[in-house]
Each structure stands twice: as C-alpha cells, then as structure tokens.
C-alpha cells in the first residue's frame, strides 16, 4: 500500500516577512539548513530574536509546530517567546513545545512515567512537601532534628539538590561545607537515600527529579529515546551557556538518535550558573561534538548605545578565557556610563531612589528602569528607601526582604521585648531551640504570656519543667540572648537590638536552621544598617515592615508589566533589557563576591556576572558604590571600589560623587524621615553638571 504524507509548501510571503527585519548574519542564521547550527554572539545582538524567527521560519517551511522543542531558561522567557512567535505565525505557535527544561521534562514524563516505575499521575513536590518528606526521612535515619543539633531539613534539601545539579557525590559535598556539617555526613547520606525512597513510594518527584528522570528515560530506555527522536525533529536552545551537562546531554541524545537537527544559541561570556553545574564548555564545544555544524556570529548590537557597548567590551576583555566578539552598536549614542560614589550604603540608596524619581519626572517610565545587584542583601537599603518613598517596585529572583524567615526571626526578638505577650513571636523562637517542638513551644508560650513578667517566667521552675532535660541549657542561653536584646533597647534603638541578636546564639543557630547561612547573616547586618535610620521600633515598623506588608497585599504586585521599577538579582535578569540600569554596591568583597574569588576561575565568573548586568542597559548605565560599608551595629568599615570599576579606562566613564546636605533638624543625613536629606551629585570631571539633571 502506498503511504501518503502531506507536506506544506513553504509560505513564501511569510518567509519574506520573517527575514525582512534582520541583518545579513541574522538572516543566514534564521534560514540555515536543517542540521546542527550554533549561534554564538554577544549580548543584544539579536540571538533571541533569531531563535524565534528561526522557529517561525521552520514552521513556514512545513515543519509541524508540534515537532519543535524550544528550550529557554525561565518560564517568563518561554512565555514571551510563545507570544512573539504567535505574532509571527498565529495559532501554530501554541503547538510548539516551548518551556524550561523542567517544564518540558514534566510534560514528557507524564506519558512515560510507568517505564520508570511511577504512574502518569505522579505528584510534583513543592518545597513544603519536600521538607515534610525530608523530616520523615530524618526520623527514619535517626536524625530527627527535634532532639539534636542536627542540620535542619532545608539545609539537607539544599545539599541534595546541589549534588544532583553539580553531579558530585553528596558525601563529598557535605564534607566540603566545613566542620559543623561534615560530622553529619553519614547521617545526611542516609537521609538522602530514605528521602529518595519516600518520594518513590509516594509516586512523586521534586524539581530535580524531573530532570534526572528525563535523562534516565533517554539514556536507559532505547525505545523511549527512539520515540522522542521521532517526535522532536527540531530542537532549539536559547541561553545554552547556562545549561548543565545533564540538560545538554538529554537534548543532544534525542537529536543524535533522530533528525540531527539542533540549534544552540548563547554567549559563553554570559555563562553565570557555574554554581548549578553550568559550563560555557557546553556551548564552546558544540562544533567539536557536532562536526560540520554551521556556526554563526552576530556582530551588531541593537540594544545598547555605542558608549555602553564600549564599556561592556572593555570590561569583559579582562577575562582570560572566552570567545572574542566585537560588537558594533546600531543605536544612536547617549551619555557615558556614570560611576557614582556615595559616603555609605544609605546615601547610595537615597541617590538611586531620588534618581529614579527624577528620571520618571523626565518621562522615563518606572518599568523601563531596573536595579540589578549581585546578592539580595545588596538591595536591602534600596528596598527600604523605595518603600519609604512609596516608589512602586517589583522584586525578582527572591522573596521580599522582610518576608524572609531569618528576618522574621530577628524581628521576633525585637517584638518580644516591645510586647512580651506577642505569643506568635515566642512560639517562633522557642521552636528553634533544640529539643523543643511545636507542642512544647505552644505550652511554654501560653504560660509566659499569662505571667506578670514573661521574661522572668521563662527561667522559672514551672517553665523549665515543661521543657525536656536536653533543652534546658538552650533555654538558659535564650534568656541571656533576650536580656542582651532588652539592654540594647529595641524600642528606641532597633539597630543596636538587631546587632545584639547577632551577638547571641542566633548566629550559630542559623547555620543549622537554614541554607545559605552566610548570606542570611549578611542580610541581617544590612537590616541593622537600615534600622539605624530609625530612632524607634515603631517608626521602623510603620515605614518598612508594614509598608512591605501593604505592598504584599497588593494583588497586582507580581504582574510583570505594571508600572514599577524592577529590582532583580543579575542572575534573574538574563536576556532582558531596560532603558536605565543601576548596578549598586560595586565594592571588593561585594561585587566581586568575596567567597566566589576563592573558587577556581571565580574572578572570571564574577566578571561575567558583571558583564550580564551592564549589558542589560539600553541608554543609561549607572554604577554606584559606597565608600563605607556598614557592618550592622558593629560600626563601619572602609570599602574598596570594585576591581571591575578600577580596571576600566577612565575615558570610557563619567564620575560623580554625592554631597549630602545635612538635615539640621534631624541632625544626621536623612535622619528620622528618609526623605529629609537631599543628595546632590557633584561631578568632579564636569563640575557644572550634575548627574541628576543629565
Ligand atoms: P542577550 O544576549 O542579552 O540575550 P540577544 O542577543 O538575545 O541578547 P535580543 O534580545 O534578541 O538579543 O535583541 C536585543 C534587542 O535588539 C531587542 O530589543 C531586539 O528586538 C532588538 N533587535 C535585534 N535584532 C534587530 C534588528 N535586526 N533590527 C532591529 N532591532 C533588533
Ligand atoms: Mg537573548
């Protein structure tokens, strides 16, 4: 019998439309023949535009949309791609398998779950579910956290995930984390294995399992691999420099088995996810792994002004390795990138907030401005300033600062002193003491709030009788901590009180309570710096803590396109662009991140992160740094400007320093009311001109 297949002929009109708005090298990449194609080019050169147009071009050429897999790095990017594709090809766009690796893995595993011993209804565990199962696993491994100083479930979860993504043995990773954790190595390994069994028994997968199971499906089950190869005739990956070997291995195996059509798109100089196992070698090695692959370089930057492009190029030239790219800007010129020094972090934050408002007055919408930082704690003072001035902002890549568990812990200490009947705060902190669980903390808290002097009642024989013997020492320590906080007087001096919390047992406890303890401690130090602006806990609460809550209650807060400044980690800003970009806190140990420099090639990775940040700017780039860094209540230390600023040819930047007019009434810059001090920017190079009225 004859088998008839129908193939759509190329839609010439559409094909013409698709290639019209492209330059020659972009067009060559879009229309390149089926097979292995690599598009390796710098930021803003239209890589993402090319990949979308290539998908549309393939569809126009008769490739069924349902046989195309388009992998991107974030869900937001995937959504945007499908929208833009829809505008080009219409409803076919929704047939394309577009999404993150995890998203696509989930869809595929639904239909092949049985092969791996799951049902197609397997559950995806959210982070709370994961923690519950880890708790169970800790019980069964004899590591129950209630009675010991064992690491908390979140810490163990973080280590397990790290081991999966870096493809490194768990035990080895645990040992590398330092003394406190290393001695739990065997226990943690036992928990990991019990956790894996629990998940399997519950017919459920966590996020990492999706990836690992997809890889198993492809690697260990030839018939499944064949089926995937049959379905996906075209695979395209954007931001390939940040995929890890597990991810790249899966899609390459599918392409190899079937059509041999894989388009990799990326920029090795923007590879910034080494901590999750990404390596630029995946993209740089593409031509070696696929001999005969087409290689395309795009050399026009359509995003940034020539001066910004010159700056970014000069910066990345300091990296030893990397594929050289010489981008030429196609945008008309604007001002030089501006480097602004501030006296301290507070002044830096005031400057940024004020500059945002001034720019808005000049007609730049808030949504076209972004503050991009290295670590979350770099944004705390800025968040505080934006909240206090009621400047709408969205925070990406992390929770709102004041909603984070460790900040709530610290606030609980302050609240107990302010209001000793605050039962929720008592319970929260009591439960963190080793040996005290939910029931005991509830019983103790109930007793305390009825006592005439709750703090004194904490050490009474009756209270002690409620706690198990092993908890008594910790309870005594807790009382000392609370007394220290009380002496610091949180009601009148919240900053000193926060520092007093850090001086107590909490700094040690945080290592066992949460993942990333160092970064959380740095958060708390910044919290103290922010609190130093307020002369009462009440003012701090009203201006910052409550303002945060009000904002959180805003149902629109997560809508990406509302009129709001974007605050984002650089890692979450990949692929995006804004008219005016601020990169704050450019000091040694901050950016580059101190600990990252200890890693092999750490400086290069940090410089790539800086490169990603500065290459997000279309028209204006503002780089700021404080001269002094506040270490919470432990005073201030002199900061050194980041090497990323010092190594740049001074001709490529403008410099300015902030001069703060003291607010006489408050007696300190910006004291009392955050808007009280007015910061002026003086530009020593061009004294007549202020950055604020550029
Ligand atoms: P990144 O490396 O940051 O992901 P990219 O190479 O993916 O950057 P795009 O985001 O695709 O770059 O493009 C950058 C900007 O340039 C976008 O606003 C895009 O619409 C515009 N652009 C790209 N190519 C052209 C072109 N040929 N004509 C006009 N504008 C273009
Ligand atoms: Mg892109």
In the beta sheet, which residues pair with residue 346? none
Angle between helices 47-60 and 12-20 (to 10 degrees): 170
- Ligand 1 atom at minimum distance from 576 CA: 3
For atom 18 of ligand 1, the residue with the nearest CA is 303
- Which 3 state secondary structure label does DSSP give 300? strand
pLDDT of 148 above 70 = no
For atom 21 of ligand 1, the residue with the nearest CA is 302
The helix or strand, by DSSP H or E, that contains position 628, with its residue range, turns out to be: strand 617-630
Residue 213 near residue 203 (C-beta atoms within 8 A): no
Which of the listed residues 46, 85, 316, 611 should we mutate to test ligand 1's pocket, taking the one with most ligand atoms within 8 A of CB?
Answer: 46
Residue 352 near residue 658 (C-beta atoms within 8 A): no
Torsional sign, CA 86, 89, 90, 95: negative
What was the pLDDT predicted at 621?
A: 98
pLDDT of 6 above 70 = no
**Distance (Å, rounded) from C-alpha 409 to C-alpha 404?**
9
**Distance (Å, rounded) from C-alpha 528 to C-alpha 681?**
26
Residue 603 has, within 13 A of its CA and on its CB side, a CA count of: 11
Residues in contact with ligand 1 (CB, 6 Å cut-off): 21-23, 26, 43-49, 267, 270, 302-303, 575, 577
- Pick the range with the lowest mean pLDDT from 10-19, 581-590, 597-606: 10-19
In the beta sheet, which residues pair with residue 680? 659
- Pick the range with the lowest mean pLDDT from 189-193, 258-262, 427-431, 617-621: 427-431
Which of the listed residues 26, 48, 49, 313 should we mutate to test ligand 1's pocket, taking the one with most ligand atoms within 8 A of CB?
Answer: 49
pLDDT of 293 above 90 = yes
Residue 353 near residue 385 (C-beta atoms within 8 A): yes
What was the pLDDT predicted at 660?
A: 66
C-alpha 72 to ligand 2 mean position (Å): 9
Q: Which residues contact 446 (CB under 8 A, 6 or more apart)?
A: 423
Cis bond before residue 386 (omega within 30° of 0): no
- Pick the range with the lowest mean pLDDT from 208-222, 439-453, 532-546: 532-546
Provide mean pLDDT across the span 309-337: 91
C-alpha 562 to ligand 2 mean position (Å): 22
**Distance (Å, rounded) from C-alpha 686 to C-alpha 597?**
35
pLDDT band of residue 166 (cuts 50, 70, 90) is confident
Residue 569 near residue 396 (C-beta atoms within 8 A): yes
Which pTM value belongs to this model? 0.81
Q: Which long-range contacts (CB under 8 A, 24 or more apart) does 23-28 make?
A: 23/298, 23/300, 25/296, 25/297, 25/298, 25/299, 25/300, 26/50, 26/53, 26/298, 28/296
Residue (of 100, 37, 516) closest to 260 by Cα position: 37
Q: Please count the other Cβ atoms lying within 10 Å of the Cβ belonging to residue 638.
A: 8
C-alpha 395 to ligand 2 mean position (Å): 21
What was the pLDDT predicted at 472?
A: 85
Residue 101 near residue 73 (C-beta atoms within 8 A): no
C-alpha 652 to ligand 2 mean position (Å): 25
**Distance (Å, rounded) from C-alpha 543 to C-alpha 671?**
13
What percent of the chain is predicted at pLDDT more than 90?
A: 47
Torsion of CA 475, 476, 479, 485, to 10 degrees: -110
- Which 3 state secondary structure label does DSSP give 370? strand
For atom 29 of ligand 1, the residue with the nearest CA is 302
Alpha carbon separation from 316 to 129, 268, 386, 589, 653 (Å, rounded): 42, 11, 31, 19, 15
Ligand with the closest atom to the CA of 577:
1
pLDDT band of residue 422 (cuts 50, 70, 90) is confident
How many residues make up the chain in this entry?
A: 694
**pLDDT tens, residue by residue, 15-62:** 788 888 899 999 999 999 999 999 999 999 999 999 999 999 999 989
What was the pLDDT predicted at 543?
A: 64
552 or 395: which leads in pLDDT: 395
Mean pLDDT, rounded, of the chain: 85
In the beta sheet, which residues pair with residue 623? 339, 583
Residue (of 588, 576, 584, 563) closest to 643 by Cα position: 588
Angle between helices 222-231 and 101-112 (to 10 degrees): 120
For atom 27 of ligand 1, the residue with the nearest CA is 22
φ, ψ of residue 69 in degrees (nearest 5)? -110, 125
What percent of the chain is predicted at pLDDT more than 70?
A: 88
Ligand with the closest atom to the CA of 238:
2
In the beta sheet, which residues pair with residue 342? 626
Ligand with the closest atom to the CA of 72:
2
Ligand with the closest atom to the CA of 616:
1
pLDDT band of residue 11 (cuts 50, 70, 90) is low
What was the pLDDT predicted at 398?
A: 60
**Distance (Å, rounded) from C-alpha 97 to C-alpha 68?**
6
pLDDT of 507 above 60 = yes
What was the pLDDT predicted at 490?
A: 85
pLDDT band of residue 555 (cuts 50, 70, 90) is very low
């Amino acid at each position: 019998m004859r088998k008839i297949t129908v193939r759509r002929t190329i839609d010439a009109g559409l094909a013409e439309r698709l290639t019209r708005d492209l330059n020659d090298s972009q067009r060559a990449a879009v229309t390149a023949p089926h097979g292995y194609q690599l598009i390796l080019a710098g930021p803003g050169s239209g890589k993402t535009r090319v990949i979308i147009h290539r998908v549309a071009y393939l569809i126009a050429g008769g490739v069924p949309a349902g046989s195309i897999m388009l992998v991107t790095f974030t869900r937001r990017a995937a959504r945007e791609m499908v929208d833009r594709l829809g505008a080009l090809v219409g409803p076919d766009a929704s047939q394309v398998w577009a999404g993150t690796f995890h998203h696509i893995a989930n869809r595929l595993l639904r239909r092949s779950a049985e092969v791996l011993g799951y049902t197609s209804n397997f559950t995806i565990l959210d982070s709370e579910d994961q923690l519950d199962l880890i708790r169970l696993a800790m019980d069964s491994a004899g590591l129950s956290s209630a009675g010991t100083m064992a690491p908390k479930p979140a810490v163990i979860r973080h280590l397990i995930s790290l081991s999966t993504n870096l493809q490194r043995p768990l035990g080895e990773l645990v040992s590398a984390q330092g003394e406190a954790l290393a001695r739990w190595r065997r226990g943690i390994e036992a928990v990991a294995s019990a956790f894996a069994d629990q998940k399997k028994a519950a017919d459920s997968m966590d996020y990492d399992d999706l990836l690992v199971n997809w890889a198993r499906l492809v690697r260990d089950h030839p018939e499944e691999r064949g089926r995937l190869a049959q379905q996906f005739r075209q695979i395209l990956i954007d931001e390939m420099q940040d995929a890890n070997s597990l991810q790249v291995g899966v899609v390459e195996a599918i392409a190899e088995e079937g059509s041999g059509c894989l388009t990799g798109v990326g920029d090795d100089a923007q590879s910034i996810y080494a901590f999750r196992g990404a390596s630029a070698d995946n993209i740089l090695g593409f031509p070696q792994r696929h001999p005969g692959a087409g290689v395309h370089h795009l050399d026009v930057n359509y995003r940034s002004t020539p001066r910004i492009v010159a700056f970014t190029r000069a910066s990345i030239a300091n990296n030893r390795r990397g594929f050289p790219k010489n981008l030429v800007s196609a945008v008309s010129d604007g001002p030089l990138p501006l480097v602004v020094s501030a006296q301290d972090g507070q002044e830096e934050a005031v400057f940024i907030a004020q500059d945002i408002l001034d720019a808005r007055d000049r007609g730049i919408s808030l949504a076209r401005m972004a503050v991009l930082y290295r670590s979350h704690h770099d944004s705390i003072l800025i968040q505080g300033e934006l909240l206090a001035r009621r400047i709408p902002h969205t925070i990406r890549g992390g929770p709102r600062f004041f909603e984070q568990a460790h900040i709530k812990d610290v606030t609980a200490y302050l609240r107990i002193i302010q209001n000793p009947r605050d039962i929720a705060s008592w319970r929260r902190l009591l439960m963190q003491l080793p040996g005290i669980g939910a029931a005991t903390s509830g019983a103790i808290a109930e007793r305390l709030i009825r006592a005439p002097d709750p703090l004194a009642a904490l050490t009474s024989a009756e209270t002690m009788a409620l706690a198990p013997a092993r908890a008594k020492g910790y309870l005594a320590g807790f009382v000392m901590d609370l007394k220290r906080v009380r002496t610091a007087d949180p009601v009148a001096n919240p900053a000193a009180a926060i520092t007093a919390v850090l001086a107590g047992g909490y700094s040690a406890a945080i290592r066992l309570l949460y993942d990333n303890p160092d970064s959380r401690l740095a958060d708390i130090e910044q919290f103290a710096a922010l609190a130093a602006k307020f002369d009462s806990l009440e003012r701090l609460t009203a201006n910052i803590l409550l303002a945060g809550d009000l904002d959180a209650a805003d149902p629109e807060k997560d809508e990406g396109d509302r009129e709001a400044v974007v605050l984002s980690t650089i890692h979450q800003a990949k692929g995006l662009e804004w008219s005016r970009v601020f990169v704050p806190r450019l000091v040694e140990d901050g950016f580059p991140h101190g600990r990252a420099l200890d890693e092999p090639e750490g400086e290069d990775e940090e410089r790539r992160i800086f490169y990603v940040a500065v290459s997000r700017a279309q028209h204006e780039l503002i780089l700021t740094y404080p001269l002094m860094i506040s270490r919470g209540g432990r005073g201030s230390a002199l900061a050194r400007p980041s090497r990323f600023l010092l190594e740049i040819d001074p001709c490529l930047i403008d410099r300015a320093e902030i001069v703060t007019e003291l607010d006489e009434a408050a007696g300190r810059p910006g004291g009392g009311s955050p808007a009280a001090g007015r910061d002026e920017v003086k530009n020593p190079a061009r004294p007549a001109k202020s950055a604020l009225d550029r």
